[in-house]
Amino acid sequence: MTLLGFLMVTVYLLNILFALMLIFISRKSASSTWAWLFVLFFLPVIGFIFYLLLGRNLQKKHFVRWHAVQQEESIEAFQDQHSALAEGTYEFPNEITKKHQGLIKMNVDYNHALLSSKNDVAILAEGKEKFRSVIEDIENAKQTIHIQYYIYKMDEVGKSIFNALVKKAKEGIEVKMIYDDLGSRTLRKKDLKKLMDAGGQVEAFFSSYLKLFNPRINFRNHRKLIIIDGRIGYIGGFNVGKEYACLDDEIGYWRDTHLRIEGNSVYNMQAHFLFDWHQARNEELREVEQRYFPSFTVDADTPVQIVSSGPDTDFESIKNSYIRMILSAKKYVYIQTPYYVPDEAFLHAIQIAASSGVDVRIMTPEKTDHPFVYGANSAYGGDLLESGGRVYRYKKGFLHAKMLVIDDELATIGTANIDVRSFSLNFEINAILYDERLAIKCRELFEADIKESFELTKELFEKRKTWTRVRESVSRLLSPIL
């Protein structure tokens, strides 16, 4: 046997071994397993290297355990709400929460997501408005500033927030900052030295010396949170960088959605930040300082649930919340997402809603930052068209908003996209708003964005080019691992 023949046989045998390991050891879903087998078949050995980086499950033992999930009062509040919902004695704050009590109970039972009824919520749909509000709240902070972003760039926008943080740290305010090591790969420790010298604390989430070969490269902290004095919270789709403020000429207009919340639901946001903080530091959190959860009141009554998901949980709470909302809709379901690569459960739910006469509309960007994602967006958009739904492509700029609204009753805004990565791989966080006024505002935002979009009709979909159809087919096969 020649050397070349020996190498080919070796590669073939190794590929069979890798495939057997994938099937019998990894215990992935059938769709994900087939997608990885597809990669192994066409990219022998190299495909397995990709699998080592992107395909392995993260074992629960690698996660920090939180021995005291929240302060004692919050644990008691959770138990009380859990029991009242189970016994049917819970007093719902409005008719919408009463109507959707199944969704509330599901998130309380499986995500410890308390429903908080005392919140003042503002929707921020422009980057400049969001950053201006953030800096103002930072400047007015009295005790603590906790900030967490998947992407933080030290450009003109990042520096404006950073300088405000440094100033407050010098004043003696506690400043804690988390950034994702991969998402913020352009951020260097020396860029943050000024804050640390001023007394601020900084941690990178799942850091590695070799960022592109990080063994946890597939499990990223995609959350965007700011918690100020334990009473004001920001949550949504905006990261930190000039493109998010529409200051990048190459990218152009950036369409996103964020929330500013003042109220008791901020306690849950604070709890998630503290968990991630200790996870980033690889230390256990055994007790929570009461000062992080101050007592206060707000003159507003918007019910909110903060729902999280990630590889550290067994229940895909955000995805299941999406599905529950979709299947409860009677009039309409409007969805905005930059990545529409649904799994089978979500796809079936959206098809059932559309085929039942519900006005289902999905909006994605005309241009995406990933060729396979564009193909998957197109392919699954075609499935929705076949079920009677409507698909829009946003063309004014890049659509990055993650929003779902139904029936002028419920809306959810947060960090989770409609894809497997957000459903099960990334650490994500969303706010569910049980409020007619805010749901109408979300619907109006969607309708305004329709004017900046074109509708992908069945006729246009059927006229797509052969190369587009091929790309869609490949993207659909790879969708469980995109």
98 belongs to the catalytic site: no
Among the listed residues 137, 181, 229, 408, the single catalytic one is 229
- Selecting among 258, 400, 408, 441, the annotated active-site residue is 400
d(CA 472, CA 373): 9
Tokens of 266: 């901020």
Give the active site residue among 28, 224, 272, 319. Answer: 224
Among 112, 402, 408, 441, the active-site one is 402
Nearest residue to 113 via CA among 312, 285, 295, 321 = 321
Q: Which residue has tokens 């087998």?
A: 37
Is 463 an annotated catalytic residue? no
307: left (phi over 0), alpha (psi -120 to 50) or beta: beta
The neighbouring-strand residues paired with 308 are: 429
Alpha-helix residue ranges (DSSP H) falling in 176-227: 193-197
Q: Select which of 256, 407, 435, 449 is catalytic.
A: 407
* Residue 449 designated active-site: no
Q: Is 118 a catalytic residue?
A: no
Three-state DSSP state, 3: helix
Secondary element (H or E) of residue 270:
helix 266-281
**Cα–Cα distance, 435 to 410 (Å, whole number):** 6
The continuous run of DSSP H or E covering 41 comes out as helix 30-42
Q: State the Cα–Cα distance between residues 385 and 378, nearest whole angstrom.
A: 10
Q: What is the CA radius of gyration of the chain?
A: 23
Calculate ∠ Cα 262-265-266, nearest 5°. Answer: 60
Q: Give the start-end residues of each E strand in 337-451.
A: 340-341, 359-365, 390-394, 397-399, 403-406, 410-414, 418-419, 428-434
- Is 314 part of the annotated catalytic residue set? no
Backbone conformation region of residue 179, classed left if phi is above 0, alpha if psi is from -120 to 50, else beta: beta
Q: Where in the sequence numbering do the catalytic residues fall?
A: 222, 224, 229, 400, 402, 407
